[in-house]
Copies of this chain bind each other. A is one copy, B any other.
Amino acid sequence: MPPHETGRLRDGAAGAEMHPCGACTIRPLTVCAALEAEELRRLADILQTQRFEAGQTLFSEGDPADILYNVTSGTVKLYKLMPDGRRQITGFLLPGDFVGLSVDDTYAYTAEAVTQSMLCRFPRRKMEALLEEFPKMQRRLFSMASNELAAAQDQMLLLGRKTAKEKICSFLHLLSQRAARRGHKENPVHVPMSRADIADYLGLTTETVSRTFTQLKTARVISLLEGNKVQITDMDQLLDIAEGA
């Protein structure tokens, strides 16, 4: 990561200062969408921005869930661990994604920055109070949770029933779609996570991920570019493989 990519949301020394949500480029994607200027101001009052370096942990499974986060730049992974170290990544967060909701006041998973990332940080209690006040925001959050639930079901189908090749193609397609939704080019897909992360997301090993990339490269479905980019050479075939057709 080049040193100049410090990201947006700079301004301010201590990393804890009022933020101009009005200038936030990914707001339409997130929980703050559709808030009025006044409401945004109220939100900004309880929020701090915070930067995390690649590999840094936001919180760990079992920690008291006192803080909610909203990603504004970078990539964050969520994972669960088994006692013997087996790991399942349950999701990658991109700008606009929200994290930290919990059922029993402790986090159910660990969150760790994949790349340098900027996040908005909300104390849970203050956030809850604000949600009471702004039903619009409550509904938006609910709608985001519904989306996540649908995505989780897709991921179950992937984990339970797809082959390695289908998994990788589904993964690349997902990244492509998510990039597009964020206004980026959908085709050379940026894949900032390591083979190990991909493996732990897809229920595979790094070796199988690597071999499958090679296979897809040989089959001229993709080609690997500089800078963690993957060019999808044959999008139709990629999709067909992903869906098991």
Q: Taking the complex as formed, is A80 at the interface, i.e. its CB lies under 8 A from any CB of chain B?
A: yes
Which chain B residues border A148 with CB–CB below 8 Å?
149
Flag if B159 contacts A156 (CB, 8 Å): yes
Q: Taking the complex as formed, is A238 at the interface, i.e. its CB lies under 8 A from any CB of chain B?
A: no
A: interface residue count bin: 35 or more
For the complex formed, measure the closest distance between the CB of A111 and the CB atoms of chain B, giving whole angstroms. 12
Q: Taking the complex as formed, is A243 at the interface, i.e. its CB lies under 8 A from any CB of chain B?
A: yes
A168–B152 alpha-carbon span in the complex (Å): 21
Q: Which residues of A contact B (CB under 8 A)?
A: 78, 80, 82-84, 86-88, 90, 101-103, 108-109, 135, 138-139, 141-142, 145-150, 152-157, 159-162, 200, 202-203, 243-245
Flag if B82 contacts A157 (CB, 8 Å): yes
Flag if A145 contacts B147 (CB, 8 Å): no
- Overall SS of chain A's interface: helix
Stoichiometry, as copies per complex, reads: 2
Flag if A103 contacts B150 (CB, 8 Å): yes
Flag if B146 contacts A138 (CB, 8 Å): no
Which chain B residues border A80 with CB–CB below 8 Å?
153-154, 156-157
A90–B156 alpha-carbon span in the complex (Å): 7
Which chain B residues border A157 with CB–CB below 8 Å?
80, 82, 88, 90
Flag if B159 contacts A109 (CB, 8 Å): no
A103–B148 alpha-carbon span in the complex (Å): 10
A84–B240 alpha-carbon span in the complex (Å): 12
Q: A103-B146, A159-B203 are in contact. List 12 more A-B contacts (CB 8 A).
A: A80-B153, A82-B162, A82-B243, A88-B156, A88-B161, A90-B153, A90-B157, A101-B146, A101-B149, A135-B135, A152-B156, A161-B203
A22–B108 alpha-carbon span in the complex (Å): 35
Query: Which listed residue, B101, B152, B162, B244, touches A152 by the CB 8 Å rule?
Result: B152
A87–B161 alpha-carbon span in the complex (Å): 7
Flag if A150 contacts B88 (CB, 8 Å): no
- In the complex, residue of chain B having the shortest beta-carbon distance to the beta carbon of A86: B161
Query: Which listed residue, B86, B141, B156, B162, touches A156 by the CB 8 Å rule?
Result: B156
Which chain B residues border A162 with CB–CB below 8 Å?
82
Which chain B residues border A78 with CB–CB below 8 Å?
153
- In the complex, residue of chain B having the shortest beta-carbon distance to the beta carbon of A153: B90
Q: Which 5 A-B pairs have the closest CB atoms?
A: A160-B203, A152-B152, A159-B159, A88-B157, A82-B244
